Amino acid sequence: MGWFSKQDANFHLSTVLPNESQGLRVTAWLGVVHGEAIIGANIFRDMFSSVRDVVGGRAGGYERALSGARDAAMEDLIEAARELGANGVVGIDFDYEVLGETNGMMMVAVSGTAVKLA
């Protein structure tokens, strides 16, 4: 189904078009939908991240915060698609941007095309 795809009983998400051989076919294109989430970096995460930069390893606090923001953006995307009557979103694209005067915030944006699948 593509390098990123997720499907439950009621909704399909994919970065590519579904394969008709898998029993999925787009019956209606409903429009572009999107979701965004912005997270702020707090001083404690920054401090521990600096230590990690010196000694090596992963910045778990940032990873968890980024994962939460990505999940929130996806929830917004799915909600927007469902409001259009969609049961799937295809062509999903993720974008990450650093924001703020001191680069203290990160935005996760996700967009795709809401579709009806049969």
CB atoms within 10 A of CB 31: 11
Q: What is the mean pLDDT of residues 86-90?
A: 95
Write down the pLDDT at residue 73: 96
Q: Which domain holds residue 28?
A: 5-117
When comparing pLDDT for 49 and 91, which is higher? Answer: 91
CATH code of the domain containing 107:
3.30.110.70
Condensed to tens digits (0 to 9), the pLDDT of residues 56-85 reads 566 667 778 888 899 999 999 999 999 999
81, 2 contact by CB (below 8 A): no
Report which secondary-structure segment, H or E, holds 81. helix 60-83
Question: How many separate domains does the chain show?
Answer: 1
* pTM of model > 0.85: no
| Residue 36, amino acid | E
Condensed to tens digits (0 to 9), the pLDDT of residues 13-43 reads 998 887 776 778 899 999 999 999 998 866 4
87, 116 contact by CB (below 8 A): yes
